Amino acid sequence: MSPRPESVIFIDKQLVWMTCGVEVGYQILLAPRTSGIVWLDVIEQAFPHFEIGGQQLRAAEVTYEGGRAMAVAFFDPSHCDSSSRPIKHFMLWLDVEPMVFDKAAMVSVPELLQQLAPAFSVILDASRYISEPDICRQAWEKQSERSLRLAFSGKNMPVKNAGSKPSTAKSNLPMDALSSDDEEALVFPKKFMMMAIVMVVLAIIAALFEVFGLA
Residue-wise pLDDT for 191-208, tens only, equals: 445 666 777 777 777 777
pLDDT at residue 188, rounded to an integer: 41
10 Å CB burial of residue 51 (0-12, 13-18, 19+) is middle
Q: What is the mean pLDDT of the chain?
A: 80
Q: What is d(CA 126, CA 16) in angstroms, rounded to the nearest whole number? A: 20
- Show me where the domains of the chain are located: 5-188
pLDDT at residue 193, rounded to an integer: 56
pLDDT at residue 207, rounded to an integer: 73
Q: Please tell me which residue, 194 or 184, carries the higher pLDDT value.
A: 194
Residue-wise pLDDT for 75-99, tens only, equals: 999 999 999 999 999 999 999 999 9
pLDDT at 176 over 60: no
Radius of gyration of the chain (CA): 21
Cα–Cα distances (Å) from 30 to 10, 17, 27, 92, 120, in that order, read 12, 5, 9, 10, 10
Residue-wise pLDDT for 105-156, tens only, equals: 999 999 999 999 999 999 999 999 999 999 999 999 999 999 999 998 755 4
Per-residue pLDDT averaged across 158-185, rounded? 36
pLDDT at residue 17, rounded to an integer: 98
Q: The pTM is what?
A: 0.70
Q: What is d(CA 7, CA 184) in angstroms, rounded to the nearest whole number? A: 34
Residue-wise pLDDT for 12-69, tens only, equals: 999 999 999 999 999 999 999 876 789 999 999 999 999 998 788 999 999 998 799 9
